[in-house]
Amino acid sequence: MSKAWPKEVEVTLGLDEPEDPEYLRNKAARALGVPAAELALPRLLKRSIDARGGRVRIHFLLGFDEEEQAGEEHNPPREVRGPARVIIVGDGPAGLFCAYELARRGVAATVVERGKPVQPRRRDLKLLNARGGVDPNSNYCFGEGGAGTYSDGKLYTRSHKRGDVRDVLEILVRHGAPANILLDARPHIGSNLLPKVISSMREELESVGIEFRFGTRLVGIELEGQGEARRVVAVKVEDVETQEQSMWPADSVVLATGHSARDVGQLCAALGLDLEVKGFALGVRIEHPQSLINEIQYGKDACHPKLGAASYRVAQEIDGRGVFSFCMCPGGWIVPAHTDTEHLVVNGMSLSKRDSDFANSGLVVQIDVSDMQTLGIDSPLVGFEVQVRAERRAAELGGGQNRAPAIRVTDFLAGRESSTLPKTSYLPGLTAADVGQAVDATGLKLAARLRAALMRFGRNLRGYVTEDAILVGVESRTSSPVRITRDPSSLEAPKAAGLFPTGEGAGYAGGIVSAAVDGLRVAEKVALRQAARS
């Protein structure tokens, strides 16, 4: 560029305008009031669809900083040497990206995962969707890649660590994720593509010496010393098939076990670690025909070739608590996400094309720490009990074989059970029942807030409240209801030097990208600790 114009420029296009670089440069030039010849061809930094006001537009953020065209230099993992005195517990995004960053720094580590690699894990999910049994260690929550691997692969994050977020996305692209995740305002890989990306990352790490042990569950952490001076010296692990246990020496242990590893929370409590009750959200999953959501969001443009399956976000405050959509899956499926036969949990997923006939979203109610204090349970793990109450009642209402309780939205608002249910994406099948009983089994009267919010959503989005929409219960694993306290500087647990609570299960992330970013941060601290001990 011949002059110092802004590095970034926003432009807006209609659906029928071209999106080629020359046209975008001309739009940017008009926005700046300068000749197009004064600008270089732009880089596309971000693309988002705006359907507000009944007129669909596409917003572009364009980059004009020539010095940044090449991007940052790729920093790959390198061969690690020496014994693996770092144990990473959990092969979800936090654990996997922690291992990746440690390998970049040449630090040996062993990743312990209770579940299976992505391909054999897929077979267990197929059985689960066919009303089969639930493998407590291989399901939608546990296994290679964590809960997000087969439940959509959404990469949207509110994290403000822009450089780290970009690093995470670029690593995913280098391992097979579509390049458009670097541009889309709400990036998404899809449950059909993400497993291949995850296994590619693991294979690269194995090639440089990082070890992965699947079917291996953490059952103990050995600490040495007293009080604040305690430190990690070993972990006890169990083979989930043989139940054979063994002790592994360790200098650093990364707890990246995800939001459903309640046994790890109980283990931390038994060790006397500092735990905090953490607010979370619980509710149901709402499902509509995707064609209806397209019409609500895009109106007359619903069938435009530039527009795929429409998404939405809704939120209302009811009696001082938020009620909001969560993990919205356009063109998706509702899936069984419980981890044992005594409970029933649902979640949502989409494939990369988002081409199913249904749109689903969590519709959840905010639960604050003060709400849980009214239950009279004096434990930092009270949130687990809240979840369990709802999940057990949902299983009872569903009637077994992974069937989920469901009700038409109109019947839920009218206070009656549904005599029939429409078609659904939920493969194990539905049982007509009042899902309000499941959410109210928490003891927190959440159903009334859901009803009040739905009535408001129906006024704001015409057609959202319809007999063709159903509520399916329960959506309870939105985030961890407990936080394992860690030092803000070292990121270690205060009463266990060398123990690093990490990611969503420890209460420090919410979603794939933020968990991955936290894994990168923790890896830096682990590497510093290991260097100081060598």
State the DSSP string of 370-398. HHHHTTT--STTHHHHHHHHHHHHHHHHH
The pair of three-digit structure tokens given for residue 385, joined into one six-digit string: 């009990």
Gap between the Cα atoms of 15 and 175, Å rounded? 32
Strand, coil or helix: 431? strand
Strand, coil or helix: 527? helix
Residue entry with tokens 């920093």: 75
Gap between the Cα atoms of 415 and 404, Å rounded? 19
CB 211 within 8 A of CB 84: yes
Gap between the Cα atoms of 148 and 142, Å rounded? 10
The pair of three-digit structure tokens given for residue 130, joined into one six-digit string: 């066919």
Nearest to 451 by CA among 438, 467, 463, 465: 465
The pair of three-digit structure tokens given for residue 308, joined into one six-digit string: 């795929």
Output the CA–CA distances (angstroms, integers) from residue 76 to 55, 80, 105, in the order listed: 44, 12, 10
Rounded to two decimals, the pTM is 0.93
The pair of three-digit structure tokens given for residue 363, joined into one six-digit string: 């519709």
* Count of beta carbons in the 10 Å neighbourhood of residue 98: 30
Residue entry with tokens 């291989």: 138
Domains (range + CATH), the chain: 8-68 (3.30.70), 86-276+481-533 (3.50.50.60), 279-475 (no CATH)
DSSP 369: H
* Cis bond before residue 474 (omega within 30° of 0): yes
pLDDT (tens digit per residue) in 229-240:
999 999 999 999
pLDDT (tens digit per residue) in 187-228:
888 888 899 999 999 999 999 999 999 999 999 999 999 988
Per-residue pLDDT 10s for the chain (534 aa) are 445 667 889 999 999 999 999 999 999 999 999 999 888 899 888 999 998 877 899 999 999 865 444 445 689 999 998 888 999 999 999 999 999 999 999 999 999 999 999 999 999 999 999 988 899 999 999 999 999 888 766 787 766 566 789 899 999 999 999 988 888 888 888 888 899 999 999 999 999 999 999 999 999 999 999 988 999 999 999 999 999 999 999 999 999 999 999 999 999 999 999 999 999 999 999 999 999 999 999 999 999 999 999 999 999 999 999 999 999 999 999 999 999 999 999 999 998 889 999 999 999 999 999 999 999 999 999 999 999 999 999 999 999 999 999 999 999 999 999 999 999 999 999 999 999 999 999 999 999 999 999 999 999 999 999 999 999 999 999 999 999 999 999 999 999 999 999 999 999 999 999 999 999 999 999 999 999 987
Strand, coil or helix: 193? coil
